[in-house]
C-alpha cells in the first residue's frame, strides 16, 4: 500500500501552517511534506510531528527570493556561497524534523546553456555531498514549463543523465507524476524504468492538479503499479483540493490510518 504524505503547502490550507499537521493526522495521514518550513522555528515543527506521530517525508532547500520570482539558485551565477548557507539552513530543519530527503530546486535559466549546466552540476554535486554526511538524499525534480515557465530542469531525461553522470548514491529523482504526464506521458513505463533512481513520488490529477481521482490518469492503476514495482518510499499528495480539503478525501479513505 503506498505511503501517502499530505502536502501541507497545497492541502489543509483552511488551517494555519502549524495546525495543518494536526488536521492531516486527524484525516488519517501518517506523513507530511511541504515546500518550505523556514517561516516557523524548527522546534515548532518537530513538536507538531511528534504530537501527531507524523513522519516528515520531504521539503525543499531554500529557493532564493521566492517572492521576487526566484525558483532556486543552483543554476544562478554568483550564488554558490548563498547556496552553501541555504544547505546549512535546510540541514538545521532536517535535524529537527528527521527528514531523510531534501529537494534542491534548480532555478530559472536556459537549459541549453553549457555554462549554466556546469554551474548546476557543481551545485547538485556539492549539495549531495553535504547531505550524504547526514545520511540524507538529495532530490532533483523535473518541472513542467506550463506551471513554472523558464525552469531549468524541464526534462526527465536531463535529470536521469545528471544522476548517472554524477554517480552519487544519495542523488535521486523526485518523480512527480503530474509533471511527467504533462511533459512526456508514458507514466507507467517510466516509473518502472526509473524506479532504481527514484527517491520520492508526487501525485495530482492532470490537467487540473486536483485530487488524484479522475481526469487524464488512472490513479488506482498507478497506485497498484507503485506497489507491484516494490516502491517503499513516500507518495506526496501535491495537489490543490477542488473545494475543502476534507471533502475531497474519498480517494484516500482506503489508505487512511484509523
Kindly give the residue spans of alpha helices, DSSP state H, lying in 2-142: 17-26, 42-51, 80-97, 114-132
Does position 35 bind ligand LASSHYVV by CB under 6 A? yes
Asked about 141 being catalytic, the answer comes back as yes
The residue whose Cβ lies closest to ligand LASSHYVV is: 176
CB of 209 to ligand LASSHYVV, least distance (A): 9
CB of 156 to ligand LASSHYVV, least distance (A): 13
Residue 104 CB burial class (10 angstroms; 0-12, 13-18, ≥19): buried
CB of 174 to Mg ion, least distance (A): 6
- For ligand LASSHYVV, what does the binding mask look like between residues 107 and 146, x meaning CB under 6 A? ----------------------------------x-x---
Q: Which of 56, 60, 97, 205 binds ligand LASSHYVV (CB under 6 A)?
A: 60
Contact call for residues 238 and 202 (beta carbons, < 8 A): yes
Show Cβ contacts of residue 172 under 8 Å, excluding neighbours closer than 6 positions. Answer: 101, 137, 138, 139, 140, 163, 197, 198, 199, 200
Distance CA 94, CA 108 (A): 25
- All three cell numbers of 2: 503506498
Distance CA 24, CA 241 (A): 13
Q: Which of 61, 176, 204, 233 binds Mg ion (CB under 5 A)?
A: 176
List the catalytic residue out of 43, 47, 141, 160.
141
Look at residues 173, 237, 182 and name the one whose alpha carbon lies nearest to residue 20: 237
Distances (CA, A) of 233 to 44, 70, 71, 236: 25, 29, 25, 10
CB of 59 to Mg ion, least distance (A): 12
Interacting positions 62-101 with ligand LASSHYVV (CB under 6 A): none
- For Mg ion, what does the binding mask look like between residues 235 and 254, x meaning CB under 5 A? ---x----------------
Contact call for residues 176 and 202 (beta carbons, < 8 A): yes
- For ligand LASSHYVV, what does the binding mask look like between residues 173 and 212, x meaning CB under 6 A? ---x--x----------------------x----------
Distance CA 156, CA 3 (A): 23
Q: Which of 30, 123, 198, 202 binds Mg ion (CB under 5 A)?
A: 202
Greatest alpha-carbon span in the chain: 52
The catalytic residue positions are 141, 238
Residues that bind ligand LASSHYVV (CB under 6 A): 35, 60, 103, 105, 141, 143, 176, 179, 202, 238
Amino acid at each position: 500500500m503506498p505511503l501517502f504524505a499530505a502536502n501541507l503547502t497545497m492541502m489543509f490550507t483552511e488551517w494555519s501552517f502549524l495546525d495543518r499537521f494536526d488536521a492531516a493526522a486527524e484525516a488519517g495521514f501518517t506523513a507530511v511534506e511541504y515546500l518550505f518550513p523556514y517561516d516557523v522555528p524548527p522546534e515548532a515543527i518537530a513538536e507538531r510531528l511528534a504530537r501527531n506521530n507524523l513522519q516528515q517525508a520531504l521539503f525543499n532547500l531554500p529557493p532564493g527570493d521566492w517572492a521576487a520570482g526566484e525558483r532556486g539558485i543552483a543554476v544562478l551565477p554568483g550564488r554558490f556561497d548563498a547556496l552553501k548557507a541555504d544547505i546549512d539552513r535546510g540541514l538545521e530543519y532536517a535535524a529537527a524534523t528527521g527528514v531523510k530527503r531534501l529537494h534542491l530546486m534548480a532555478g530559472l535559466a536556459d537549459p541549453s546553456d553549457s555554462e549554466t549546466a556546469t554551474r548546476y552540476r557543481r551545485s547538485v554535486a556539492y549539495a549531495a555531498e553535504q547531505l550524504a554526511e547526514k545520511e540524507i538524499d538529495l532530490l532533483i525534480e523535473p518541472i513542467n514549463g506550463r506551471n513554472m515557465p523558464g525552469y531549468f530542469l524541464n526534462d526527465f531525461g536531463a535529470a536521469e543523465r545528471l544522476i548517472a553522470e554524477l554517480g552519487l548514491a544519495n542523488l535521486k529523482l523526485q518523480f512527480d507524476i503530474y509533471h511527467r504526464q504533462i511533459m512526456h506521458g508514458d507514466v507507467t513505463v517510466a516509473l518502472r524504468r526509473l524506479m532504481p533512481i527514484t527517491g520520492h513520488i508526487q501525485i495530482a490529477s492532470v490537467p487540473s492538479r486536483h485530487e488524484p481521482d479522475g481526469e487524464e490518469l488512472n490513479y488506482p492503476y498507478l497506485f497498484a503499479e507503485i506497489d507491484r514495482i516494490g516502491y517503499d518510499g513516500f507518495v506526496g499528495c501535491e495537489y490543490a483540493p477542488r473545494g475543502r480539503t476534507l471533502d475531497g478525501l474519498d480517494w484516500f479513505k482506503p489508505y487512511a490510518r484509523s
